[in-house]
């Protein structure tokens, strides 16, 4: 009984931990970069945040992703000169398992 418990705890101590990326804001945007803020429903825990982060990071246009669970927002910084249309944002949110409410955009 105790052996699997100890093995699990030992593995958990050595496994990688993914933490939130550096915050994205309009003020810190690099030149030619775009900040997309997607307001979504259903994000209530870190597994939710990890899901949307992993999904957006698969897109080559994405430089960084920040998740604000308090406000239900995904803040996506695009690489300089890169673009992402609204339909793509909605696709990534939906494929992550959440519902898109609104998209806000800002450029440097």
Partner 1 sequence: MSALKATLCLGAALGLAAAAHARPVSYPGGWTVMQRNTSTFSSLHLHYSPTFKDSIGVYGEQNWDGDWSFAGGQYNRLLKRWNAPKSQANLYFNLGAGYAETFEGNESGAAGFAGFAADWETRRWFTSYSVRGYDLGFDQDVHHTARLGVAPYIGDYGDLHTWLMVEVHNLPEADTPTTVTPLVRFFYGVQLVEIGYTPETERFMANWIIRF
Q: Which is nearer to partner 1, 41 or 107 (CB)?
A: 41
Helices and strands (H, E) in the chain, number of each type = 3, 4
DSSP H/E element including 104: strand 99-107
Please give the residue ranges that form the binding site for partner 1 (CB under 8 A).
1, 4-5, 8-9, 11-12, 15-20, 40-52, 54-55, 58, 67-70, 72, 95-99, 101
Q: Which is nearer to partner 1, 42 or 80 (CB)?
A: 42
Q: Which is nearer to partner 1, 90 or 108 (CB)?
A: 90
Q: What angle do CA 56, 59, 60 make, to 5 degrees?
A: 135
> At closest approach, how far in Å is the CB of 107 from partner 1?
25
> At closest approach, how far in Å is the CB of 74 from partner 1?
11
**Positive or negative, the Cα torsion across 98, 102, 46, 56?**
positive
> At closest approach, how far in Å is the CB of 77 from partner 1?
16
Q: How many residues does the chain have?
A: 108
């Amino acid at each position: 009984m105790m052996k699997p418990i100890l093995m699990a705890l030992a593995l958990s101590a050595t496994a990688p931990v993914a933490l939130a990326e550096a915050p994205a804001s309009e003020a810190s945007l690099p030149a030619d970069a775009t900040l997309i803020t997607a307001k979504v429903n259903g994000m209530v825990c870190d597994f939710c945040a990890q899901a949307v982060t992993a999904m957006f990071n698969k897109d080559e246009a994405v430089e960084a992703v920040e998740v604000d669970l308090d406000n239900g927002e995904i803040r996506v910084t695009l690489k300089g000169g890169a673009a992402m249309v609204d339909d793509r944002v909605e696709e990534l949110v939906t494929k992550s398992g959440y519902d898109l409410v609104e998209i806000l955009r800002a450029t440097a």
